[in-house]
A = this chain, B = another copy of it.
Amino acid sequence: MKYFFASRTNRLLTSPLRDIREMSGREYFISLAEELPAEELFPFKLLEEAAVSVFSSGPSALQYGEPAGYRPLREWLDNDWNTRKGIRTVPEQILLTTGTQQAIDLVMRLLLEPGDSVLVEHPTSPGCLEVLEMQGAKIVPVTGDGDGILPDLLEHHMQQVRPKLLFAAPSFSNPTGVLWSMERREAVLDLCSRYGVLLVEDDSYGELHFDGLEPGDFYRKYPSLFALDTADQGGHVLYIGSFSKTVAPALRTGWAAGHPALIQAMASVKRIADGQSSPMNQRLLYQLLAHSPFKWSDHLSMLNREYKTRLKLMLELLKRPGWKGSQYIIPEGGMYLWVKLPDGLDSGALLKAALLKGVSFLPGSLCSTGEQDHRYIRLNFSHPGRDELLLGMNLISESITEFTARS
């Protein structure tokens, strides 16, 4: 029997991401392409204890829960954000989701008609671009510099295309790891507010910073735009993120927080999307965070020290001759390094060669529409261990050398 798929699925179904992911499943394969945290840093012993506590509370922990998510966890988030991030919410403003990816999908399904214009920080997360393509949005990239997207350019686009929303990650974007300055944060929020454009603020990586600041102090220096959104009764920011990079991905617990009207409507879309995320996993997280010896702040500091070390190793390896001619800005956080290849090299062609050697990375073209970033690659430094990183980086540089030697 022949199936006829909806036309908007075309790009999705031919995505090269699928191939990379499938090949990464091969056991001898080193992947610097993934978005994986380091599993050896998961608090898995404490999570095991938390699981025992959750189960011993009786069978209701295994029943359907509130569609918006387990309320005590929403209250915990509310309190944590209030204390560390200066965010003022109530639990009704928080919807628990299956990771950040679902938060993006839900808000886009709720808001976008086919053909609607959407501004995205350029380059941006492949997962967000795929959702926008599936919704038939007109994607308009907004370029930035080391301090964030450029307000003049943003305002120009806002006037030209009347966008419905702007998607951005002000603290360590995927893929570039850029950290917006305070001034830029205020300018962008002001524009969103003046033009009535919703800012979808992806804070998936905000906790991963390598400046040595305490987790609370970081957010005082670089506040989330959601925290800054106090003028004109707020409501200009939807704040999304997850525990996938900070605790463990398999719990599949993320959030969307914003104006109650927006959150309530997203909850309705979530009802048809999957009913609800796992309330058991949400209880597990709550138990870990609120009622176990786990120290949230210490855990984040430990992650940041460890990831800083891994980034440092990657930067050392990039100094080797094989990488000559490549360029990058050293990120102050996140999980990725965004590398511009030496002149004349195409990331797609390089990937094919690298895959044959048993190593992968993310080709930059997946982080933008069109072919603009075909000379870039995204390297993940959080997941590979020391040996994997050494070998993987060497294999990529071998591939580069083969290309540059040939030309």
Show the binding face of A for B, using Cβ within 8 Å: 1-7, 9, 12-13, 15, 17-18, 21, 25, 34, 36-37, 39-40, 42, 44-45, 47-48, 51-52, 55-56, 58-67, 97-99, 101-102, 105, 109-113, 127, 130-131, 134, 164, 193, 196, 198, 232-236, 244, 248-252, 259, 261-262, 265, 268-269, 271-281
A244 vs B265: C-alpha distance in the bound complex, in angstroms?
25
A167 shortest CB reach to chain B, Å:
14
Chain B residue at minimum C-beta to C-beta distance from A196: B1
Asked whether, in the complex, the Cβ of A9 is within 8 Å of the Cβ of B164, the reply is no
Asked whether, in the complex, the Cβ of A274 is within 8 Å of the Cβ of B39, the reply is no
Chain B residue at minimum C-beta to C-beta distance from A131: B272
Jot down 15 A-B pairs with beta carbons below 8 A, ordered by A.
A1-B193, A3-B265, A5-B265, A15-B268, A18-B268, A34-B64, A48-B52, A48-B56, A51-B52, A62-B251, A65-B250, A101-B272, A127-B271, A130-B271, A281-B281
Given contacts A7-B113, A196-B2, A278-B281, contact A269 B12 (CB under 8 A): yes
Query: For residue A281, which residues in chain B have a CB less than 8 angstroms away from its CB?
Result: 278, 280-281
A318 shortest CB reach to chain B, Å:
26
A110 shortest CB reach to chain B, Å:
6
Asked whether, in the complex, the Cβ of B51 is within 8 Å of the Cβ of A39, the reply is no
Given contacts A13-B265, A47-B55, A51-B51, list 12 more A-B pairs with CB under 8 A.
Answer: A1-B193, A1-B233, A1-B236, A3-B111, A5-B110, A7-B113, A52-B52, A59-B248, A102-B273, A252-B276, A273-B273, A274-B274
Question: Which residue, A55, A111, A232, A244, has most C-beta atoms of chain B within 10 A?
Answer: A55
A36 vs B65: C-alpha distance in the bound complex, in angstroms?
10
Query: For residue A102, which residues in chain B have a CB less than 8 angstroms away from its CB?
Result: 273-275
Query: For residue A39, which residues in chain B have a CB less than 8 angstroms away from its CB?
Result: 59-60, 62-63
Q: Is the interface of A mostly helix, strand, loop or mixed?
A: helix
Question: Which residue, A12, A45, A52, A250, has most C-beta atoms of chain B within 10 A?
Answer: A250
Asked whether, in the complex, the Cβ of B252 is within 8 Å of the Cβ of A277, the reply is yes
- A250's partner among B5, B164, B269, B278 (CB-CB below 8 A) is B278
A45 vs B5: C-alpha distance in the bound complex, in angstroms?
44
Query: For residue A268, which residues in chain B have a CB less than 8 angstroms away from its CB?
Result: 9, 12-13, 15, 18
A283 shortest CB reach to chain B, Å:
8
Query: For residue A1, which residues in chain B have a CB less than 8 angstroms away from its CB?
Result: 193, 196, 198, 232-236, 259
Given contacts A101-B273, A274-B102, contact A9 B265 (CB under 8 A): yes
Given contacts A130-B272, A275-B101, A278-B250, contact A113 B44 (CB under 8 A): no
Asked whether, in the complex, the Cβ of B109 is within 8 Å of the Cβ of A6, the reply is yes
A223 vs B196: C-alpha distance in the bound complex, in angstroms?
55
A251 vs B21: C-alpha distance in the bound complex, in angstroms?
25
Query: For residue A55, which residues in chain B have a CB less than 8 angstroms away from its CB?
Result: 44-45, 47-48, 51
Query: For residue A37, which residues in chain B have a CB less than 8 angstroms away from its CB?
Result: 63
Given contacts A1-B232, A52-B52, contact A98 B262 (CB under 8 A): no
Question: Which residue, A7, A15, A48, A196, has most C-beta atoms of chain B within 10 A?
Answer: A48
A56 shortest CB reach to chain B, Å:
7
